[in-house]
Amino acid sequence: MFSTQPVYNLLMLLALLPAVVTISPSPANATASDNRAQLAPASAPIATDQQLKAQRALYAQSMKLVRDRDWKKLRRQRTQLVNYPLYPYLIYADLIADLSYARRHEVSNYLRRYAGSVKAQHLRARWLDYLARRAYWTAYTEYYEPQTASISRQCHFYLAQYRLDNKPLAISEGLKIWSRGKSQPKTCDKLFGILIKEKHISESLAWRRFNAALLNHNFQLARYLKRFLHSSEYLQRHELYYDIERNPKRLSQRALFSSNSVEERQVIEHGLTHLARMDPNLALKHWSRYQQSHEFSHQSQAKIASSIVKGLHKKGHTKAADSYFVDHLSLLNQTLEGELTEWRIRQSLSELDWPDARVWLSRLPDANQQKTVWRYWAIRSMESDPATTLSPELNQLTQSLARERDFYGFLASEKLGRSYSINHNPAIVEHSLLRSIAGIPAMQRARELHFHGDSLDANREWSAASKNYQQQDWVAAAVLASQWQWHNKAIASMGSAKYWDDLEIRFPLAYAEPINQAAKKAGIENYLLFALARQESAFNASATSGAGAMGLVQVMPATAKSTARKHRLPYRSKKQLHSASINLPIGSSYYGDMLERFGNNRILATAAYNAGPSRVDQWLRKTDGKLPFDVWMTLIPFKETRIYVRNVMMYSAIYSRKLGLTPPMLLQHERDMLL
């Protein structure tokens, strides 16, 4: 295991800090340094560890009273928690349970006392919604804060202005909301109804919204907006622009595109990028002519040219595509930050065309050439060329890459037969800074919410506390979060600080016992399961992805159900996937299934775990067993999966070293198998 003495010494010092400091609520516009200043005066009571333990227990009991709606008993009990960081949460729960105009003074007092806090923002939102439902418009304008208002509450505010006879403001601001190129909440319907009834929606305004909707692919809204167009000119343009999406060949009617307006250029760009996929030669023909009549931004030029290059390649016109690419290389590299050149290198690698790969590698922008992935492929292309196999530069490049701690750096180390460059360098943080960050009110609340398992509000409070952090603040926050066993925040904070070398914080041996048990039962290495948990959730057991994957190793509920049935594992409902004791056995068993399906190849099993086994089968059919492992990994169509597989393999190597093991990052059969 890496040396951790500096960090542990720091945490021992931090342990001497008072667990909780009573503080005053921070103002709404407080900066990080302002927040740190909000410490209680010296005479304020400070909780000892024993008192904190008692407060936590009493808070848990109080939250049960909240769930039971026993407000009378709660009001008596919470007086014992006035100095506990989550005391405002108990007041908030009481208020929202029975919002009424009669309690407006209590609401005002809360908003003033806890101004800028997460729960003050939530209470203001709930209170505004209450006032709007009852049409208390004068009160609504008094409590409204534009800087935190949602679109829905903005609409209510301008409706209030209209009802209170400030009609010019209501109309002008309402039109701004209406003109956005996406559908707005139903709560805006009353305001919009007034704008429509009083004929404030002009054709030109409706036309601008139509264009925005079309570019956002909101076709339902685009069709709806036709009712506001009356002149033949606008109606004809509506039909033309709407039809470009389905039939971009209509761009050949250039006489219809003569205004050179922003909207027209956007539609031409939109149509040409679609046409380039269908008929890149025709798209190139039209593009050449539209450039003479319209002035496009560099970003638009690059987007259209990129679509044409890719379209020509897809149709097999490689020479024409490359010639056009080279002619516009400077524009494409600068505007797209080298992404199209990186795509072109992958095309060369897919054909194992090493000379061509070297040519395109040399055309990368300087910044991209320094990425480890392209440094690796520069080495591989030289190794595959007899003219450069023995070049001294090849060894120098490999030596340099081997100093990096990442997937390609580890591969370079293996080429040289040396140990991986782990490069562990613990963070050193001043004790005064740790104390300052720990004393921020929102940070104290975040810590306590995390302790009580309220991950949603804990994350909100963390965000509120950290919104103005500087680099050194993030490092201190990472150290604190690590001490609190809040590993995903510790890892993320090190990322925000761009401090990558404290591997004790960035790669903790979290959930060690359940991970070891689950790995053993599933027949996979424990360091691999550590790597999966690190990549999938950063050890956040409460994590839920946008796709619905849940828990430490991000298991989909449907996958959990079938895997649990197959392996006779306990599982009843998806809520259980937030429990490590359920999530890890199911996730590790499913990963074991992927290993079995793909011949014990962790590259393929890991790709399947992320993107699905059917997709990996599809990719394998396409490459037909012709590609080395590294080429196949680089050609994975999904960028997310490309990065995912590299990370899991690299993380597994790091975790194996933390556990005192020294297996190679990739096993021999994984390196030898053609994919």
Q: Pick from 133, 132, 78, 72: which is nearest to 97 by CA?
A: 72
Residues in the chain: 675
C-alpha to C-alpha distances, 13 to 2, 22, 178, 429, 549, nearest whole angstrom? 20, 20, 56, 11, 39
**CA 158, 160, 162: angle at the middle one, nearest 5?**
70
Tokens of 531: 């790597």
Which two three-digit tokens encode residue 400? 């340099």
Residue 622 CB neighbour total at 10 angstroms: 12
| Crossing angle of the two packed helices 262-278 and 203-215, in degrees rounded to 10 | 30
Rounded CA separation 589/596 (Å) = 10
Q: How do beta strands 20-21 and 46-47 pair?
A: antiparallel
Nearest Cα neighbor of 124 from 3, 47, 28, 10 is 28
Q: What is the three-class DSSP state of 56?
A: helix
The one-letter amino acid at 612? G
Q: Name the token pair of 551.
A: 């828990």
Q: Could you give the 3-state DSSP secondary structure of residue 363?
A: coil
- Output Rg (C-alpha) for the chain, integer angstroms: 30
Cα angle 360, 361, 365 (rounded to 5 degrees) comes to: 100
For residues 595 and 354, give the distance between their C-alpha atoms in angstroms, rounded to a whole number: 31
How does 580-590 read in b/e, with b if 16+ C-beta sit within 10 Å?
A: bebbbbbbbbb
Q: Which segments of 325-423 are extended strands (E)?
A: none
Q: How far is 521 from 514, CA to CA, in rounded Å?
A: 11
| Nearest partner of 148 among 429, 391, 464, 372, judged by Cα | 464
**Residues in Cβ contact with 162 at an 8 Å cutoff, skipping those fewer than 6 apart:** 170, 171, 174, 191, 194
**Residue whose token pair is 């590698």:** 361
Encoding tokens for residue 13? 């010092």
C-alpha 125/C-alpha 131 separation (Å) is 10
What is the enclosing helix (H) or strand (E) of 47?
strand 46-47
* CA dihedral over 437, 442, 444, 446, signed as positive or negative: negative
Measured CA to CA, the distance from residue 394 to residue 383 in angstroms comes to 8
- Nearest to residue 590, comparing CAs of 570, 566, 614, 611? 566
Positions marked active-site: 536
Q: Which helix (H) or strand (E) holds 20?
A: strand 20-21
Element (H, E) at 21: strand 20-21
